[in-house]
Amino acid sequence: MTHAIVPPYLLARIAALQDPELQHAAQAARATLAVPRDYGPARSRLRLSIEDGDTLVAEAVPAPDREISDAQRREVLPGVRVRGEDDAATGDAAVDDAFDGLGVTFDFYWDAFQRNSVDGAGEPLLATVHYGLDYDNAFWNGERMVFGDGDGEIFQGFTGSLSVIAHELSHGVVEASGGLDYTGQSGSLNESIADVFGALAEQHHLGQTVDEASWLIGEGIFTDAVEGRALRSLEAPGTAYDDDVLGRDPQPAHMNGFVVTSDDNGGVHINSGIPNHAFYLTAKALGGHAWERAGLIWYRALTSGTVPADADFATFANATLAAATAEYGEGSEEVDAVRAGWTGVGVLEDAP
């Protein structure tokens, strides 16, 4: 199963445009929808730190093993290898942004959760850029990241958004942790967890607190012609964009707005707004850096081995409560924050 950042309902809307001035974007969206998406040794580095005031300590920590290829605007993978781990920057923004974004995401998972790459065992990080002609998406195909350049009218290059890169790599983390069926509520959880860690990777890189962060996914992928900040907002689902061409962001923030649909594998990109907002409410209640407590709880739940592939929202909510209890203790503010997050979006009922 492949996972793409731009949902099919948004591409379908663009593909149906009749405005003569937007026919290039419409054709690019139709072509993007028509393209089928096909489904190493550990490295280390020295990290220096100062301890006890003046003692310089060298510690070996895992390092990413990155390889970027160029599809040269064809729909063929992997493409031509253009940059490896020990190579200098190429001057091609898509190549170098992808390389840097993979490294930032790797560092986030290691620093926050001591996870060594996608599989936890140093798996090489592979990416292909310049995929297809005017291709309006980025996706994880089970083994590599793939980035289109966008149509230039609605979407611009996808490698410039760190949250996009981290989101797609996080689908690999979900798969390596047991997986979540990509349909219905479990599929929405799959998308939501990727959004959560996509947002956290960006916040970690920027050193942002809960209050400083944008909580946006895909910020920067729209051109200036679009009335919108990003594809999704964890802080306020349903507000990421409101555009004459794209319409209004359809994500609900509460179960009372849950969308029943057969489209998009049962609305996986729409209903993910509900667990997304539950995480935001949890992080907001705890404050500070969201990856340190709220993020750790979500990560512990995901990797606990107790979440079935067909988990619904309530099942995952209870897994996060169990993870918070194991990590911080019953009655802790962390447990209370997690419970309040899920009750705040209508997934769990208030405790008696």
Q: Are 263 and 269 in contact (CB under 8 A)?
A: no
| 330 noted as active-site residue | no
Half-sphere exposure of 116 (CA within 13 A, CB side): 14
Tokens of 339: 């419970």
Question: Using H for helix, E for strand and C for coil, what is the string for 43-103?
Answer: EEEEEEEEECCCEEEEEEEEECCEEEEECCCCCCCCCEEEEECCCCCCCCHHHHHHHHHHH
Q: Are 71 and 131 in contact (CB under 8 A)?
A: yes
Q: Helices 273-286 and 313-328: crossing angle, nearest 10°?
A: 20
Which one from 153, 168, 235, 334 is the annotated catalytic residue? 168
Which one from 130, 171, 269, 277 is the annotated catalytic residue? 269
Tokens of 139: 């996706």
CA-to-CA distance for 165 and 167, rounded, in angstroms?
A: 5
Task: Return the amino acid letter for 212.
Answer: E
Give the Å distances, CA to CA, from 285 to 3, 67, 84, 129, 338: 31, 39, 42, 39, 9
CA-to-CA distance for 86 and 122, rounded, in angstroms?
A: 16
| 168 noted as active-site residue | yes
* Number of other CB atoms surrounding residue 74 within 10 Å: 12
Which residues are part of the catalytic machinery? 168, 269
